[in-house]
Structure 1
Amino acid sequence: MIDPLHYDTTGNGPVLLLVPGGAGHPMGLGPLTERLAQRFTVVTYDPLGLAHGRLGRPVPDQRPAHWSDGAHRVLETVLPPGERAHVFGSSSGGIAVLDLFARHPGRLAHVVAHEPPCVTLLPDGAHERADLIERLTAGQHASAEDGPPSPMAVFLAHVLRPFTAYTPAFSAPTGLTVAAGADSRGQVLHRTAQAVAQRTGSPFAEFPGGHLGTLEHPVAFADRLTQTLLAADAPGAAR
């Protein structure tokens, strides 16, 4: 049985698929999508349906391929015949769009992966991954027991570990941009994004804010993303 798709659409123009981070819950992305919708048909994918009435239901452990296959199905549903979509993903969503690029490139125009936590690419990557998991899960277990389930609880229990084990194993000199927040300089996920860009042979770009730049500076972030995608569309641009 194929799982149902959960996504929202707003705006007009070329299709831009967004894959949120965390557990894929598009919480707080309204200002970003509102700005992007001035130039694009923004399709926000909710891979676990947490914003569509499924929060609190059982969730199995996730894999990047689960999300990228779902994202591919969304594109096949919303894209007119012969057209291609821009794609943006941040954090765990950044890992999902890397896997989408690797496994389903046929309907993609340009992909931007923002701070994908592929920390195993770093020197002493196993230690970096263990440290990242420990820092993110510290103090969460008690609060998860005391209250109702949350997207963060789902992320920590079913997304964080399998996604941070993902390593891109492809070369992408065109069609992919790897990004990190300017405020993340010197931090592990900024270094990780640079490592992903180096591994894939892709351009590296800095975006406004830090790891949560989509929430911290939604207008400036949307404008930087729009600039990146329009540059990729320009005549003569590598794709």
Structure 2
Amino acid sequence: MTMTRTLGVPGAHLRYEVRGAGPVLLLLGSPMGIAAFAPLADALVGDYTVVTHDPRGIAGSALDDPEQDSTPELRADDVAALLDVVGAGTADVFGSSGGAVTGLALVERHPERVRTLVAHEPPLLELLPDAADRRAMVDDIVETFHREGAEAAWWKFMAGSGLAGDGDGDAPAAAPDEPSPMDLVDGARFFAHELRHTTRYVPGTRALASGPARVVVGIGADSGALETYRTSMALCELLGSLPVEFPGEHVGFLERPEEFADVLRKVLSSPLA
């Protein structure tokens, strides 16, 4: 059975879901929310109490001030509040993409709350040797959104990230799927208030490496051409660790949830992962 509830936090009301039984496992995205993680959550309910939520300002999580920016630090504090409301002193955490950045901020700000963080392909562009160029790319995407709208911005985002096209800023080979009205709202928020803050986050590697939480970097088996492959490997280098390979590409948890869940279980149960 899945329970859907709302939690009031400073400046927002978070929609969250709880399903399953066992140790608490949080699945984090940004801007992806509850809907994107449902297949993976369903695959894990036999082993965990799985908690998912819509990040502040996304889908069912409304903001008091719609113009408030979404930072990794704010989102991390939201996750700590979710742990409180579900009665979990500590939890395992899986974060993908921007959710992985949220997870890294959670480990830094609330290290005692995390047992293991699996940070799957965090887009930490500031760790790259060409960070200045990547920063300019993000600025261009955001400016394109304000000037031409979300569709044009998505084309540039997909090409620049390597998810489509050649990764050098050319248009992707195919346009993104036809967006729903909610997709349009969430996309606008992502470009206007979230993308810059997420990609410019710089993790404190000393805190990550020496704190009580175990940090594991996840990478898609088919993600070699993606920008997030580069950022994940850069984070591994800073942490002095090797990545764990997961099925699929950047959203392998959507494409192959059962296989993805199998790998995640192994990572969480292995003290040497």
TM-based fold match above 0.5: yes
* Matched residue type, 1:166: Y
Give the superposition deviation at 1:29: 2.1
Gaps of 5+ in 1: none
Mark the CA change 1:220 to 1:132 in structure 2 (over 3 Å): closer, same or farther: farther
Q: Tell me the TM-score normalised to structure 1 length.
A: 0.85
Gaps of 5+ in 2: 1-8, 153-178
How far apart in 2 are the matches of 1:41 and 1:177? 20
Aligned residues: 230
Deviations 1:48-78 (A, max 9, x none): 15332639x8242111100001101111221
Q: Which residue of 2 aligns with 1:142?
A: 149
> Within 5 Å, which residues of 2 pair with 1:93-132?
93-131=99-137
Q: Which residue of 2 aligns with 1:169?
A: 204
Q: Which residue of 2 aligns with 1:212?
A: 251
Deviations 1:62-108 (A, max 9, x none): 1110000110111122134xx52100111111100001011101121
How far apart in 2 are the matches of 1:177 and 1:68? 17
Q: 2:70 aligns with which of 42, 45, 62?
A: 62
On the 8 A contact 2:13/2:56 being kept in 1, the answer is: no
- Structure 1, 134-143 or 174-183: larger mean CA deviation: 134-143
Q: Which residue of 1 aligns with 2:14?
A: 5
- Structure 1, 62-71 or 28-37: larger mean CA deviation: 28-37
Q: Which residue of 2 aligns with 1:46?
A: 54
On the 8 A contact 1:19/1:97 being kept in 2, the answer is: yes
Q: Which residue of 1 aligns with 2:23?
A: 14
Q: Which residue of 1 aligns with 2:83?
A: 75
- Structure 1, 217-226 or 97-106: larger mean CA deviation: 217-226
On the 8 A contact 2:16/2:34 being kept in 1, the answer is: no
What stretches of structure 1 move > 4 A for 4+ residues in a row?
132-140, 143-148
Deviations 1:83-138 (A, max 9, x none): 52100111111100001011101121100111110011111112123335646886
Mark the CA change 1:50 to 1:124 in structure 2 (over 3 Å): closer, same or farther: closer
